[in-house]
C-alpha cells in the first residue's frame, strides 16, 4: 500500500543528486551551516574598512572546527582536502574522494558514468560523503559540549558534485573570496551561500 498521508509533512525531501553514488570517487563542494545561522565560529574583521582584506577572526570553536576539518583524511584516508574557508556561521570546503579509481586530481570526475542512474540499494552508510561529514560534525559538537560551549549545527548540509576543472576553479575562487562578500551577502535571504 502506498500511503501518502504524511508526504511533505514529516519527511524532508533529499537535497542529494538523484541516482548518484556519494561513496565513489568524485569532487564535492560542501557547505555546512550552524543552526539559525548563529555566528559560533567567530566574526568578520575588515582592516581599515577595506573589504578586500576582510578575514575571519575565529573563536575557540572556529579554531577547533578548522582543526577537525584538517584531520578528516586521518579518519577517511580516501579523502583529500582542497579549498576551505570558515565563516562566522558556516563553512565551505571541497573534498576529493579518491578510492583508487581513475585519477581525479585534474578536477575531472567520472561525469558520464557517475551521473547515470543506477539501482540505489539501501546499504551501510560508511565511507561516503554523509558519513565523513557526520563524523566531522559530531567531533565539533562533542568538543563544544565537553567545554560547555553553546553550539548547534543545522541538521543537514549542502553539496554540489563538481563536474569539471572549470567549475572547480570557480568554486575555489568563491571560497577564497568569501569573507570579502560578507557585508553584501549577509542579508541576502537565501540562507545557503554567502
Q: Domains in the chain, ordered, with CATH?
A: 26-111+125-185 (3.30.70.1290)
H or E stretch covering 98: none
pLDDT for 84-125, tens place per residue?
999 999 999 999 999 875 444 444 333 323 333 333 343 445
Per-residue buried b or exposed e for 16-52, using 16+ beta carbons within 10 Å of the residue's own CB: eeeebebbbbbbbbbbbbbeeeeebbbebeeeeeeee
- Give the model's pLDDT for residue 99: 85
CA separation for the pair 187, 14 (Å, rounded):
26
Helix residue ranges, H only, 6-147: 60-70, 72-75, 111-115, 129-146
Would the pTM of this model clear 0.95, i.e. be above it? no
Residues 6 or more apart in contact with residue 131 via CB below 8 angstroms? 125
Provide the grid cell at 123: 546499504
pLDDT for 127-156, tens place per residue?
899 999 999 999 999 999 999 999 999 988
- Judge whether 129 and 135 are in contact, CB under 8 Å: no
- Judge whether 62 and 121 are in contact, CB under 8 Å: no
Q: State how beta strands 42-45 and 158-162 pair.
A: unpaired
Q: What is the mean pLDDT of residues 62-71?
A: 97
Amino acid at each position: 500500500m502506498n500511503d501518502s498521508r504524511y508526504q511533505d509533512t514529516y519527511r524532508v525531501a533529499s537535497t542529494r543528486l538523484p541516482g548518484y553514488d556519494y561513496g565513489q570517487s568524485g569532487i564535492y563542494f560542501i557547505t555546512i551551516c550552524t543552526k539559525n545561522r548563529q555566528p559560533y565560529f567567530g566574526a568578520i574583521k575588515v582592516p581599515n574598512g577595506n573589504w578586500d582584506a576582510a578575514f575571519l577572526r575565529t573563536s575557540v570553536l572556529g579554531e577547533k572546527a578548522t582543526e577537525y576539518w584538517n584531520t578528516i583524511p586521518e579518519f577517511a584516508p580516501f579523502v583529500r582536502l582542497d579549498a576551505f574557508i570558515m565563516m562566522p556561521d558556516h563553512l565551505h570546503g571541497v573534498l576529493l574522494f579518491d578510492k583508487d579509481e581513475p585519477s581525479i586530481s585534474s578536477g575531472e570526475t567520472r561525469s558520464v558514468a557517475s551521473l547515470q542512474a543506477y539501482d540505489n540499494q539501501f546499504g551501510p552508510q560508511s565511507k561516503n560523503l554523509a558519513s565523513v561529514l557526520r563524523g566531522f560534525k559530531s567531533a565539533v559538537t562533542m568538543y563544544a559540549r565537553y567545554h560547555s560551549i553553546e553550539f548547534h549545527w543545522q541538521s543537514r548540509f549542502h553539496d554540489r558534485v563538481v563536474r569539471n576543472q572549470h567549475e572547480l576553479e570557480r568554486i575555489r575562487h568563491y571560497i577564497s573570496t568569501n569573507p570579502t562578500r560578507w557585508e553584501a551577502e549577509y542579508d541576502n535571504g537565501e540562507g545557503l551561500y554567502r
